[in-house]
Every structure is written in C-alpha cells, then in structure tokens.
Amino acid sequence: MSAPLLLVTEIPVDEDPAEALAAWQDRPTAPGSVLYRGLEAPTLLELTPLEGLAELAGLGEQWRQQAKALAPLVVGDVRRQVLQFVEAPKPAPAGAALPDTPYVQLRHVEVKPPVHEEYLTWRDGTIFDVVRTTEQVDTFLAYHSLLSTEPGVMFVAGFSCAPEDYLPAFSSQRYGEIARHAHSRFVTEDGLYTRLYQRVAEAV
C-alpha cells in the first residue's frame, strides 16, 4: 500500500557518480528508501515513503552526516520535496510503498489552480486510461506537492522493460493528442518535465 507521503531527494553529481554513490550508500537511510541514478542527467535520486511529517524530524542528523560526506563529491546542493499520495492507477505490489521495478520515471506537471478539480476528472479517462492499458507500465502512482519549490502533480511510474520499450507508450499519436489537450486547458507554461532513473541495485 502506498504511504501517505513521499520524500524525494535528488542531488547532481559528476559524470562518473561512483564515489558519490558509494558515499551515499555508506550512510544510514530511512526505512523503505530506494536509491536510483539518473539516466538522462548525472544525478542520484532517493525515494522514501513516510507515514507523516513528524518522521522528518528524525532525519535531520542523518541529512547533516550525508551532506558532509557528499560535499566533496557532488556538483550541486541537495533538492528535497515532500509529496502527498493521491491515487494509484496501477498500484505497487502488495505490501510495497514504491514500485518494485528496475526503472522509474518521474512525470511532473504544474496544473493551473482554477481548473485543478476538472483536471483530476479529465486525467482519469485520458492519462490513466493509457496507463491502465499499457502493459509496459508496471506501477503508476499519483502524488501532489505538499512541501516543494516545484508545485504540482508528480507521477511515479515503475517499469521493468528497457526504456526504449517503455517510452513509446507516451509518444504515440493518442498520447500526443492528450498532451496537447492538457497544455491548452490545464498546464502552466513551465510546469512539465519527465526524468528516467535506474534502480542502483540494478545498475551495471
């Protein structure tokens, strides 16, 4: 079952992230955390399920130790945000709070507040219909920003096939029409991005 909150932590690293990755793995992590590396940009990403905001208080010392260990090895500061679970068009496996897949994709969109409720209804019959009928998508979880400098909707998609087999589902003619419709009615000018990551345990 998906946790009520998701802590997303990302940090930019050098083109060869081996040292930063080793330093990250050498530090304590919160229960349930999963570590990934970026496939399109040199970053490390950690997803951590939370039951409530009170859990953040217990992570402060861990963050300080991690920041100190990583400081000589990274090219930018830590980015963190807390997302609130909304729904799961394709839930994670039973008992799991996150996708149990070799790859995830983060899909972010900032929705115009006046049409937010309309957007929630619209996406169920469009975006989520594509997701539910696409076998390459194993898990698809929908969140909304709670504490973030990137406000909006965040989808966490988990998949097990190669990225080149997964991506066509979101570049089809049908999905292109859905995206154009979304842009004209719901999405702000700068609020859209997608990013691919590979689970570190699966990386080669």
| Residue indicated by tokens 């990274």 | 74
C-alpha 11/C-alpha 24 separation (Å) is: 11
Band of pLDDT at residue 1, cut at 50, 70 and 90:
confident
**pLDDT exceeding 90 applies to what percent of the chain?**
73
Band of pLDDT at residue 4, cut at 50, 70 and 90:
very high
Question: Residue 177 has what pLDDT?
Answer: 92
Q: Is the pLDDT of residue 54 over 80?
A: yes
Residue 21, CA distances (Å) to 36, 46, 176, 182 in order: 9, 11, 36, 37
**In contact, 183 and 115? CB cutoff 8 Å:** no
Q: Is the pLDDT of residue 103 over 60?
A: yes
Structure tokens at 85: 């679970």
Question: Residue 203 has what pLDDT?
Answer: 47
Q: Is the pLDDT of residue 191 over 80?
A: no
Question: Residue 202 has what pLDDT?
Answer: 53
- 27/96: higher pLDDT: 96
Give the global pTM: 0.94
pLDDT in tens, 59-86: 988 899 889 999 999 999 999 999 999 9
Question: Residue 204 has what pLDDT?
Answer: 41
Q: Is the pLDDT of residue 9 over 50?
A: yes
